[in-house]
Amino acid sequence: MTEEPTNDAGQALWQVCVEQLGQELPEQQFNTWIKPLTAQVAEDFSKVTVYVANRFKLDWIRAQYAGRISAMLESLYGQPVTLELALAHRESVVRTYVRPPSGERHAPPETVAVAVPTVSPEETAAPVFRTRLNPALTFETLVEGTANRMARSAAMHVAGSPGHLYNPLFIYGGVGLGKTHLVHAVGNKLLADKPDAKVLYIHAEQFVSDVVKAYQRRTFDEFKERYHSLDLLLIDDVQFFANKDRTQEEFFNAFEALLAKKSHIVMTSDTYPKGLANIHERLVSRFDSGLTVAIEPPELEMRVAILINKARAENAEMPEEVAFFVAKNVRSNVRELEGALRKILAYSRFNQKEVSIQLAREALRDLLSIQNRQISVENIQKTVADYYKIKVADMYSKKRPASIARPRQIAMYLAKELTQKSLPEIGELFGGRDHTTVLHAVRKIAGERQQLTELNQQLHVLEQTLKG
Ligand SMILES: Nc1ncnc2c1ncn2[C@@H]1O[C@H](COP(=O)(O)OP(=O)(O)OP(=O)(O)O)[C@@H](O)[C@H]1O
């Protein structure tokens, strides 16, 4: 039973919040999810209780929209507002409290307390199905260009009528080109159209770890129940299955079960199926049995459009001439383009100057000087070997002790960061190593760099030495 609203000013606040969300969200999403909501606002505006029709919708609103609603209420009211989600149809409500926004734009809301007053045990025990989708990664926010046109249109088709054509859909391309964004977009679109669909996004590494856990805990039945019952499985970076026999077997089983019941599978990888190393032939041929499409590095106009759109999403203006200047200088992938944009906007805000070519030049001077100096992989290998006092030859050798393997991984990371070489090219220059080895090294060092101050400092010294 929905409680009656307690104050008119509170209702007005809620109405404005709903209207603003209506302007932000695609119409269908708004009509399905936001419009039916009712709310009760506390007298002192400290808390807003939003009533949702059923448990599924409650979970979905909490995962996809609660952070945005909470942020909107806070910005309208000017102070933090506690958002509470409650089931509308029962006298005893299920309450989920969401912390006021933390400032992070698309961060999922954090549930700080779930109190279930008088709900029967079976209901409380019902597991919440988590899609792991990032609601910010949609088709609307993905810029279309020649580089991703085919992949995008195949993905749209799958989202619109899953289980039919292009099953599995296999999307491949280099780092930071939008593969992950595209698969999330498929899941988000399907769920917006069919809220009851069982959709799961998972990175291949997480799948490996789920297999290991199921193995250790002898919970393969649950594992199968979880994966085999999906309507749409989105699995990212399947090259990580290399050499993992048990994972490949479980994935094969899941794959067959899903296809048999006309569920859809969308996969991404850094290479096309036949280019995958150390993955069983029967799996490779399954990967290739639907539609395989590539995403290429974005062309100039697409890079310009991405910069302008992303600046707008940050409430900033990027004049077209500046966008062209940046796009001409940052060519490799979208992630780097985003990094360049962040630098420019931060530089502009910090110095309180408008975004111009001159400002972009100053903000990106490190990046531009790297490109001008054309650092070579050989130079990186020598500098890193000298720094860690190992032989340059160890950069190509098969030796594995940590004292050698780690500097080698650092050199691979720097080669990816500071040169335009592709992963396979870098692998070749490190004694004919596989590109997945390079990708693993790049990710490992990039991750550790965030955590370990000492490593960060060492990398900084190496970068400065290399940039001269
Ligand atoms: N066409 C596009 N329009 C807008 N944003 C994009 C586009 N392509 C990529 N991006 C953005 O660039 C960033 C990197 O994209 P994403 O993570 O999807 O790349 P990826 O191909 O999965 O890379 P990796 O192989 O490293 O996982 C993301 O923030 C994504 O939103």
Cα 394 to chain centroid distance, Å, stands at 35
Q: Whose CA is nearest to atom 18 of ligand 1?
A: 178
Annotation-wise, does 103 bind a ligand? no
Q: Whose CA is nearest to atom 29 of ligand 1?
A: 335
Cα(85)–Cα(88) distance, rounded to whole angstroms? 9
pLDDT at 120: 34
Q: Please choose from 106, 175, 180 the residue to mutate so as to test ligand 1's pocket, defined by most ligand atoms within 8 A of CB.
A: 180
Q: What is the DSSP letter of 338?
A: H
Which residue in the block uniquely carries the two structure tokens 């400002």? 359
Please tell me the distance between residue 145's alpha carbon and the centre of ligand 1 in angstroms: 13
Pocket of ligand 1 (CB under 6 A): 137, 142-143, 148, 173, 175-181, 270, 306, 334-335, 338
Q: Please choose from 138, 269, 314, 334 the residue to mutate so as to test ligand 1's pocket, defined by most ligand atoms within 8 A of CB.
A: 334
Work out which ligand 1 atom sits closest to the CA atom of 147: 1
List of domains in the chain: 8-125 (3.30.300.180), 149-294 (3.40.50.300), 300-372 (1.10.8.60), 375-467 (1.10.1750.10)
Task: Give the DSSP letter string of 248-292.
Answer: HHHHHHHHHHHHHTT-EEEEEESS-GGG-SSS-HHHHHHHTTSEE
Cα dihedral sign for 177, 179, 185, 188? negative
Cα(90)–Cα(94) distance, rounded to whole angstroms? 9
State phi, psi for 178 to the nearest 5 degrees.
105, 20
pLDDT tens for each residue of the chain, 468 residues long: 444 445 677 787 888 888 888 877 888 788 888 999 999 888 877 889 999 888 778 888 888 888 888 888 877 777 778 888 888 764 344 455 554 443 333 333 333 333 333 333 333 333 445 788 898 899 999 999 999 999 999 999 999 999 988 999 999 988 889 999 999 999 999 999 998 899 999 999 999 999 999 988 989 899 999 899 999 999 999 999 999 999 999 999 999 999 999 999 999 998 889 889 899 999 999 999 999 999 988 999 999 999 999 999 888 989 999 999 999 888 878 988 999 999 999 899 888 899 999 999 999 987 776 565 678 899 999 999 999 999 999 998 888 888 999 999 999 999 998 888 889 999 999 999 999 999 999 999 999 988 888 898 889 888 877 876
Please tell me the distance between residue 149's alpha carbon and the centre of ligand 1 in angstroms: 14
Q: Whose CA is nearest to atom 23 of ligand 1?
A: 176
Residues 6+ apart with CB under 8 A from 460: none
Work out which ligand 1 atom sits closest to the CA atom of 141: 4
For residue 186, give the nearest of 206, 171, 176 by alpha carbon.
171
Token output for 360? 């972009």
State phi, psi for 369 to the nearest 5 degrees.
-70, -35
Cα(205)–Cα(235) distance, rounded to whole angstroms? 10
Q: Whose CA is nearest to atom 5 of ligand 1?
A: 142
Token output for 113? 């307390």
Q: Whose CA is nearest to atom 13 of ligand 1?
A: 335
Q: Please choose from 152, 172, 181, 295 the residue to mutate so as to test ligand 1's pocket, defined by most ligand atoms within 8 A of CB.
A: 181
Please tell me the distance between residue 176's alpha carbon and the centre of ligand 1 in angstroms: 5
Q: Which helix (H) or strand (E) holds 201?
A: strand 199-203
Cα(379)–Cα(412) distance, rounded to whole angstroms? 12
Count how many residues are written for the chain.
468
CB 61 within 8 A of CB 129: no
CB 317 within 8 A of CB 355: yes
pLDDT at 86: 87
pLDDT at 124: 35
Please tell me the distance between residue 366's alpha carbon and the centre of ligand 1 in angstroms: 23
CB 87 within 8 A of CB 55: yes
Q: Which helix (H) or strand (E) holds 3?
A: none
Cα(183)–Cα(189) distance, rounded to whole angstroms? 10
In DSSP terms, which residues pair with 51 in a beta bridge?
A: 38, 86
For residue 269, give the nearest of 292, 299, 302 by alpha carbon.
292
Please tell me the distance between residue 90's alpha carbon and the centre of ligand 1 in angstroms: 43
Please tell me the distance between residue 183's alpha carbon and the centre of ligand 1 in angstroms: 10
Please tell me the distance between residue 159's alpha carbon and the centre of ligand 1 in angstroms: 18
Task: Give the DSSP letter string of 126-140.
Answer: SPPPP----TT--ST
Cα(51)–Cα(224) distance, rounded to whole angstroms? 35
Cα(460)–Cα(418) distance, rounded to whole angstroms? 12
Token output for 3? 């409680």
CB 284 within 8 A of CB 273: yes
Q: Collapsing DSSP states into helix, strand and coil, what is residue 120?
A: coil
- Which conformational region is residue 176 in: left (phi greater than 0), alpha (psi within -120 to 50 degrees), or beta? left
pLDDT at 65: 87
Q: Whose CA is nearest to atom 25 of ligand 1?
A: 175
Please tell me the distance between residue 228's alpha carbon and the centre of ligand 1 in angstroms: 28
Q: Which helix (H) or strand (E) holds 84?
A: strand 82-87
Burial class (CB in 10 A: 0-12, 13-18, 19+), 42: middle
Cα dihedral sign for 220, 221, 223, 227? positive
Q: What is the pTM of this model?
A: 0.59
Annotation-wise, does 179 bind a ligand? yes
Work out which ligand 1 atom sits closest to the CA atom of 137: 31
Q: Collapsing DSSP states into helix, strand and coil, what is residue 161?
A: coil
Please tell me the distance between residue 296's alpha carbon and the centre of ligand 1 in angstroms: 12
pLDDT at 130: 78
Residues 6+ apart with CB under 8 A from 307: 318, 323, 326, 327, 337, 341
Annotation-wise, does 176 bind a ligand? yes
Q: Whose CA is nearest to atom 10 of ligand 1?
A: 178
Please tell me the distance between residue 175's alpha carbon and the centre of ligand 1 in angstroms: 8
